[in-house]
Amino acid sequence: MHRRTSGSLSLAVLVALSVSGCAKDSSSPTRSDSAPAAAGKPTPAAKPVPAPLTSATLSKRLLDETDLGQGYTRQKETGDGDRDDVTVIGCPALEKLGGDGAAGGDLDFPNSAKATFSYSRGTGSEVAEELYSDSVDKLGPNTRTVFEAMTGCPLYQFVVGDTPIAVATQKLPAPALGDEAWSQLLTFTAGGRDTVMKQTAVRAGSVLIVVSGSPA
């Protein structure tokens, strides 16, 4: 989860596109009217548990410029390299989590893929999409823990290296998509400058989609 800004692209549309790209075909054959009805009430079939997807498979499901429309260019992803430690202050629930997730950064799941796009009509405007995959019993609860911890602390601070950053969070209505969904508004303040970011996450089976960008 990145601290980015974007142009006027709707996050709801991005999330819907991502979910539709990750969703499986839910159509199933219907029973013919001429087929005999089963005696008694049929026993519902157990719903299969979706298996986690590999990072390579997730990469193929990322959005591209054709999905976003004119004016968006995909940025080259760079390696993480040496990363500064993140320290959270003023939010005990986030302090326990630690790491980038507590500061709105990457979530800790084994399989992931990312794409960041810049918008040519706005200086510094970007939108980021991230896909994660893990077993359902880990993906849902772990994501829920991070989002509930972040929105549970309306004001807190984290320090990246030697740089303090104040954060204000606000829980937003989540879209009616996937199996679970979360949305929040984050305001980061550093060096007297504010950066506002809307972040929406949707879990569809064993895949988590996170889209971050300007609330515009």
Total residue count of the chain as it appears in this document: 216
Over the Cα atoms of the chain, what is R_g? 20
pLDDT along the chain (216 residues), means of 10: 42 59 42 47 71 95 88 78 73 77 70 90 77 95 91 90 90 94 94 91 95 82
Instruction: Strands of the chain (E only): list them.
Output: 72-74, 86-89, 111-119, 126-133, 155-160, 163-171, 180-190, 193-204, 207-213
How far is Cα 196 from Cα 133, in angstroms, rounded to an integer? 27
167 neighbors 151 (Cβ within 8 angstroms) = no
Two structure tokens written together for 162: 């030697």
Two structure tokens written together for 155: 């004001």
**Pairing, β 163-171 against β 155-160:** antiparallel
184 neighbors 197 (Cβ within 8 angstroms) = no
What pTM did the predictor assign?
Answer: 0.77
Which of 32, 158, 4 has its CA nearest to residue 89?
A: 158
Two structure tokens written together for 212: 């971050």
State residue 68's pLDDT score. Answer: 84
The answer for residues whose C-beta is within 8 angstroms of residue 70's C-beta and 6 or more apart is: none
State residue 105's pLDDT score. Answer: 58
- Structural domains in the chain, CATH included, are 11-19+52-76+84-213 (3.40.1000.70)
State which amino acid sits at residue 156.
Answer: Y
How far is Cα 57 from Cα 66, in angstroms, rounded to an integer? 19
Residue 134 burial (10 A CB sphere; 0-12, 13-18, 19+): buried
Residue that is written with structure tokens 């040496």 in the block: 82
Which of 174, 187, 209 has its CA nearest to residue 67?
A: 209
